[in-house]
């Protein structure tokens, strides 16, 4: 690895801690920065450093394997450890990269959506959210997960509520999210509490070892698992615990919607993977039951039901939000089938969907920025008035449907094969049908955008008015990433398989 030779040793050694400490400290400093431009610049620099660090961690992980960082030199299980392994390294990269992309995009977006005196707090909350997400991804300590979960959640409530400057409904959406998010976090911490009762430790690797010794543990462990699954289910918008999500995505400021759609639910899904397969084990009968009946059942129902709901939405962002709930269903299906191939496919879809949905939300945000567009019928003639933005939307949209040469195709095909290999033929049929539903809800937008003429406003036909470069660059980065993954998928598939093998063992 030639790149790693340029990285100073102290960064390699302390990268996991650096990853969460830097945004935490900078969030506090950014909050009191007087100048909004400086606030943006500092956030940009922080996220850029985070991205480089995350890539370093991922490369280093690929080279040396799992690393455990001891916070303050205290050895686990007594001290808090930060773990970087094949499962969370890609998620760390995803979160850091998405934060950088969002910040670039936020430069023009916040000017339109956030009042000047709120911009520094906005960036501070954004950095806190990033710190929380990164923290809950890298930490090896169950209670620490809860702490970072709350850090990210509370800052997210603030970020969502900041959409009120644009649409007052953001306040009720944020409140709704706050109530449900707090319930979710409470359930999660109750679950962790029960686990502590059962195992006497908070370190996740230690918990896993003790639970295995106890052969899955007593009823307390079962209850703990139930609480954790439901708590995380709320956070990851598992159907029918998704009701907070459409409002939060639709009324938050556009950069926040894109960031949340591609990171927040994904980090929660990562935790679900971590707890179901790493702390607990699918060999315990109660875990197997939950996988088979709860995750698969709710996943499949969510895929169908949320896709149908997406078709009937008139607000594009609500439509994309319901689509997210449906896509979470794909991931849950992959996790629930619980073979190495299926978990790899679900994990791959987690990464791919983040790229896809991020791109879509960035594009729709740019459309709002220029024309105030949120509803489906407003898409008329966008192929002419914003060709580049609509182009990015189209590429990401096709990827969501799962057209060949796109990321969505790769993960859906992998999931289809995993389901077929396990003999789950009805699941194959469901994947096909929901892909057709995705074709309908994306296709009708493309139809309106490309085959109808631009609207007439005040007696004049709307003319071309493309989004600024700071918005086009992020959305096209994601759109092209989606195509890149669709053609040269080996790296991504390899990462997903390594992650699944870490959880389930090879084959």
Partner 1 sequence: MTPQIALALLLIIPLLAAVLIPLVGKSQNVREGVTFVAGLALLATVVYLCIDVASGGRPELRLGSFAGRFNFALKLEPLGATFAAIASSLWIVNSLFTLGYMRGNKEKNQTRFFACVAIAIAASMGIAASANLITLFIFYEALTISTFPLVTHKGDAKAKRGGTIYALILMGTSLALLLPAIIGTYVIAGTTDFVVGGIFPPGTSLFATSILLFLFAFGIGKAALMPTHPWLPNAMVAPTPVSALLHAVAVVKAGVFTMLKVITYTFGPALTLATPSSTWLAWIAAISIVLASVIALRQDNLKARLAYSTVSQLSYITLGAMLAVSMGILGGGLQIVMHAWGKITLFMCAGAIYTIAHRTNISQLDGLGRTMPWVFGAFLVGALSIIGIPPLGGSWPKFMLMMGAVDSGKAILIVALIASSILNIIYLVPIAVRGFMKAPANPEDDAHIAEVRKKHRWVIIPPVITAIGSLVLFFFAGGILDFLQPILPAGGL
Cβ contact 369:385 at 8 Å: no
DSSP letters for 394-421? HHHHHHHHT-TTSHHHHHHHHHHHHHHH
Q: Which is nearer to partner 1, 165 or 428 (CB)?
A: 428
- Contact criterion met (CB below 8 Å) for 205 and 140: yes
| Least distance from partner 1 to the Cβ atom of residue 352, Å | 11
Mask for 449-478, x = binds partner 1 (CB under 8 A): --x---------------------------
* 439 interacts with partner 1 by CB under 8 A: yes
CB 359 within 8 A of CB 396: yes
- Binding part of the chain for partner 1, among 78-86, 310-318, 362-370, 416-424 by CB under 8 A, reads 416-424
- 17 or 403: whose CB is closer to partner 1? 403
- Using CB under 8 A as the binding rule, whether residue 391 contacts partner 1 is answered as no
Strand partners, 141: 203
Residues 213, 71: Cα–Cα separation, whole Å: 27
Binding residue (CB under 8 A) for partner 1 from 401, 427, 445, 479: 401
The least CB distance from residue 420 to partner 1, in Å, is: 4
Copy the structure tokens of residue 174.
Answer: 């944020």
Among 409, 424, 441, 476, binds partner 1 (CB under 8 A): 409
**What is the bridge-based pairing of β-strands 456-457 and 81-84?**
unpaired
d(CA 137, CA 89): 9
**Which parts of 226-255 interact with partner 1 (CB under 8 A)?**
none
417 is a site residue for partner 1 (CB under 8 A)? yes
| For partner 1, the closer CB: 111 or 420 | 420
- The least CB distance from residue 431 to partner 1, in Å, is 9
Q: Is 66 exposed, middle or buried (0-12, 13-18, 19+ CB in 10 A)?
A: middle
- Cβ distance 345 to 334 under 8 Å? yes
- Please choose, out of 219-227, 241-249, 316-324, 407-415, the segment that lies near partner 1 by the rule CB under 8 A: 407-415
Name which of 39 and 343 has its Cβ closer to partner 1: 343
Which value, to the nearest 10 degrees, does the dihedral of the CA atoms of residues 8, 14, 19, 22 take? -80
State the Cα–Cα distance between residues 306 and 459, nearest whole angstrom: 39
Concatenating the DSSP letter of every residue in 215-243 gives: TT--HHHHHHHHHHHHHHHHHTT-TTS-T
Q: Which residues contact 398 (CB under 8 A, 6 or more apart)?
A: 406, 408, 442
423 binds partner 1 (CB under 8 A): no
Q: Which of 416, 424, 454, 471 binds partner 1 (CB under 8 A)?
A: 416
Minimum CB–partner distance for residue 349 and partner 1 (Å): 13
- Candidates 24-32, 70-78, 375-383, 436-444 — which segment interacts with partner 1 by CB under 8 A? 436-444
Q: Does 486 interact with partner 1 (rule: CB under 8 A)?
A: yes
Q: Smallest gap, in angstroms, from Cβ of residue 479 to partner 1?
A: 17
Q: Could you report how far apart the first and last alpha carbons of the chain are, in Å?
A: 28
Residue 443 binding partner 1, by CB under 8 A: yes
Residues that bind partner 1 (CB under 8 A): 401-405, 409-410, 413, 416-417, 420, 428, 432, 435-436, 439, 443, 447, 451, 486-490, 493
């Amino acid at each position: 690895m030639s790149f790693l030779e340029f990285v100073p040793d102290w960064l390699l050694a302390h990268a996991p801690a650096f990853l969460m400490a830097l945004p935490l400290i900078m969030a506090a400093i950014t909050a009191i920065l007087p100048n909004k431009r400086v606030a943006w610049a500092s956030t940009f620099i922080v996220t850029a450093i985070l991205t480089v660090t995350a890539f370093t961690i991922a490369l280093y992980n690929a080279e040396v394997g799992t690393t455990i960082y001891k916070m303050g030199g205290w050895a686990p299980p007594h001290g808090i450890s930060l773990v970087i392994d094949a499962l969370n390294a890609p998620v760390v990269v995803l979160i850091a990269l998405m934060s950088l992309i969002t910040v670039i995009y936020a430069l023009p977006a916040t000017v339109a959506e956030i009042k000047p005196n709120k911009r520094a707090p906005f960036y501070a909350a954004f950095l806190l959210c990033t710190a929380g997400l990164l923290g809950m991804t890298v930490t090896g300590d169950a209670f620490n997960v809860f702490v970072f979960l709350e850090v990210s959640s509370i800052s997210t409530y603030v970020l969502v509520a900041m959409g009120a400057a644009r649409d007052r409904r953001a306040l009720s959406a944020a409140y709704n999210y706050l109530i449900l998010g707090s319930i979710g976090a409470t359930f999660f911490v109750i679950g962790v509490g029960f686990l502590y009762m059962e195992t006497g430790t908070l370190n996740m690797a230690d918990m896993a070892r003790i639970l295995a010794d106890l052969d899955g543990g007593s009823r307390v462990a079962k209850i703990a698992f139930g609480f954790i699954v439901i708590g995380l289910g709320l956070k990851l918008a598992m159907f029918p615990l998704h009701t907070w999500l459409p409002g939060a995505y639709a009324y938050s400021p556009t950069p926040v919607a894109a960031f949340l759609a591609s990171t927040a639910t994904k980090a929660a899904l990562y935790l679900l993977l971590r707890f179901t397969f790493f702390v607990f084990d699918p060999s315990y009968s109660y875990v197997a039951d939950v996988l088979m009946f709860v995750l698969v059942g709710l996943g499949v129902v969510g895929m169908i039901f949320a896709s149908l709901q997406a078709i009937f939405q008139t607000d594009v962002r609500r439509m994309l939000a319901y689509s997210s709930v449906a896509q979470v269903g794909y991931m849950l299906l992959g996790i629930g089938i619980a073979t190495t191939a299926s978990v790899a496919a679900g994990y791959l879809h987690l990464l791919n969907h983040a790229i896809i949905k991020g791109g879509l939300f960035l594009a729709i945000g740019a459309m709002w920025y220029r024309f105030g567009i949120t509803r489906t019928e407003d898409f008329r003639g966008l192929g002419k008035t914003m060709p580049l933005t609509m182009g990015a939307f189209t590429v990401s949209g096709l990827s969501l449907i799962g057209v060949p040469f796109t990321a969505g195709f790769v993960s859906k095909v992998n999931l289809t094969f995993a389901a077929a290999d396990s003999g789950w033929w009805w699941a194959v049929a469901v994947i096909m049908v929901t892909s057709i539903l995705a074709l309908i809800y994306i296709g009708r937008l493309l139809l309106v955008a490309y085959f109808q003429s631009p609207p007439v406003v005040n007696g004049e036909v709307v003319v071309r008015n493309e989004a600024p470069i700071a918005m086009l660059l992020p959305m096209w980065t994601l759109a092209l990433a989606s195509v890149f993954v669709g053609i040269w998928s080996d790296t991504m598939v390899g990462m997903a398989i390594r992650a699944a093998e870490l959880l389930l063992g090879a084959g």
